[in-house]
């Protein structure tokens, strides 16, 4: 028995109506979806931590999620794990004709355009009789920051974009000014949320024009803030002073010291 076969058999046993695990039997697609997303993030954390053993383990946890979903689908008569594996294999071959099709010829540098053309054709096929949109296939469940960058990237492919960085910077400044105006007018919370959303979306466009992954950049900023704040905590503890009792000038001084330590 191969490792994959063994894993599939374990999943079947866990879902067995009579002898299976009560918790596993009670699950459905919706109930385990959050675990699937969580496992994907834990894979990313293992990569960020450069922990090879943790990465191996987390990839196994993520694979188990694929197996779990596949078992649920098989029980409904939709598809099984084999169909999932066959489908992704077919897709990768279809999207890489320059690798798998000996008759395919393309000039150097055209691979990205060919890839997008193939994906566009797939979207048209999925749309059926409905008019396809260039935004089709951008999953709603993606983190908002990642989805914003994907949406703007898709729109840019049909020319809906600024010509240069200046236009993007101007848009960010425009959105900031609009939020400031709403704050000065003591606008309702819904208006502030709307305007702040526009700023965040404009910033993802700026990241795209700078060829920076907004999600990666923010993860880095989060890590930097955590590292520096923990340093501030240690520094204040060494002084015998609680953070909650310190004034902002003291905290700012400690923050600048944390920055200098880097």
Instruction: Give residue-wise pLDDT tens across range 190-199.
Output: 999 999 999 9
Entry pTM: 0.62
Please check whether residue 121 lies inside any domain of the structure.
no
Establish how many alpha carbons lie within 13 A of residue 105's alpha carbon, considering only the half-sphere containing its beta carbon. 1
Tokens 């992704």 correspond to what residue?
88
- Pair 41, 86 in one domain: yes
pLDDT of residue 128: 62
- Above 90 in pLDDT, residue 48? no
Please check whether residue 163 lies inside any domain of the structure.
yes
Please check whether residue 232 lies inside any domain of the structure.
yes
- What is the percent of the chain where pLDDT is above 90? 65
- Pair 220, 160 in one domain: no
Please check whether residue 77 lies inside any domain of the structure.
yes
Task: Mean pLDDT check: name the lowest of 85-94, 112-121, 155-164.
Answer: 112-121
- Over range 159-185, report the average pLDDT: 95
pLDDT of residue 134: 81
Number of H helices, E strands in the chain: 12, 0
- Above 70 in pLDDT, residue 164? yes
Range of the domain at 181: 133-212
- Pair 17, 91 in one domain: yes
Please check whether residue 116 lies inside any domain of the structure.
no
- Pair 153, 222 in one domain: no
Which of the listed residues 173, 192, 212 is the one where a domain comes to its end?
Answer: 212
Please check whether residue 195 lies inside any domain of the structure.
yes
- Above 70 in pLDDT, residue 159? yes
pLDDT of residue 132: 73
pLDDT of residue 99: 84
Q: Nearest-CA neighbor of 251 among 229, 222, 227, 223?
A: 229
- Pair 85, 32 in one domain: yes
Q: Give the phi and the psi of residue 107 in degrees, each rounded to 5.
A: -70, 155
How far is residue 207 from each of residues 124, 202, 210, 225, measured CA to CA in Å?
A: 29, 9, 5, 19
- Pair 12, 69 in one domain: yes
What pLDDT digit, counting tens, does each position of 213-224 carry?
998 899 889 989
Number of domains in the chain: 3
Q: What is the mean pLDDT of the chain?
A: 89
- Pair 91, 37 in one domain: yes
- Pair 208, 226 in one domain: no
Q: Look at the alpha carbons of 99, 103, 109, 113 in this order and tell me if their dihedral is positive or negative.
A: negative
- Above 90 in pLDDT, residue 78? yes
Q: Look at the alpha carbons of 179, 180, 181, 183 in this order and tell me if their dihedral is positive or negative.
A: positive
Measured in residues, the chain has a length of 262
Please check whether residue 230 lies inside any domain of the structure.
yes
**201: domain CATH number?**
1.10.287.1080
- Above 80 in pLDDT, residue 175? yes
Please check whether residue 120 lies inside any domain of the structure.
no
- Over range 100-104, report the average pLDDT: 79
Residue 130 is classified by DSSP as S
């Amino acid at each position: 028995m191969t490792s994959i076969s063994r894993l599939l058999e374990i999943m079947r046993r866990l879902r067995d109506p009579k002898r299976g695990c009560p918790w596993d039997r009670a699950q459905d697609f919706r109930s385990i979806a959050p675990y699937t997303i969580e496992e994907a993030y834990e894979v990313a954390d293992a990569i960020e931590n450069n922990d090879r053993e943790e990465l191996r383990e987390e990839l196994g946890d993520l694979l188990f999620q694929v197996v779990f979903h596949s078992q649920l689908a098989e029980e409904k008569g939709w598809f099984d794990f084999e169909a999932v594996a066959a489908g992704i294999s077919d897709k990768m071959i279809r999207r890489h004709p320059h690798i798998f099709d000996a008759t395919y010829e393309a000039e150097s540098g055209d691979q990205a355009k060919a890839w997008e053309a193939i994906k566009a054709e797939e979207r048209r096929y999925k749309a059926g009789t409905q008019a396809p949109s260039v935004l089709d296939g951008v999953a709603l469940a993606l983190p908002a920051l990642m989805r914003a960058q994907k949406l703007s990237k898709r729109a840019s492919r049909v020319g809906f974009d600024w010509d240069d960085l200046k236009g993007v910077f101007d848009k960010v400044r425009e959105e900031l000014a609009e939020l400031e105006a709403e704050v000065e007018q003591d606008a309702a919370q819904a208006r502030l949320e709307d305007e702040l959303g526009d700023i965040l979306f404009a910033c993802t466009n700026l990241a795209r024009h700078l060829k920076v992954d907004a999600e990666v950049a923010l993860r880095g900023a989060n890590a930097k803030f955590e590292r520096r704040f923990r340093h501030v905590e240690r520094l204040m503890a060494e002084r015998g002073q609680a953070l909650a009792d310190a004034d902002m000038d003291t905290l700012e001084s400690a923050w600048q010291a944390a920055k200098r330590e880097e």
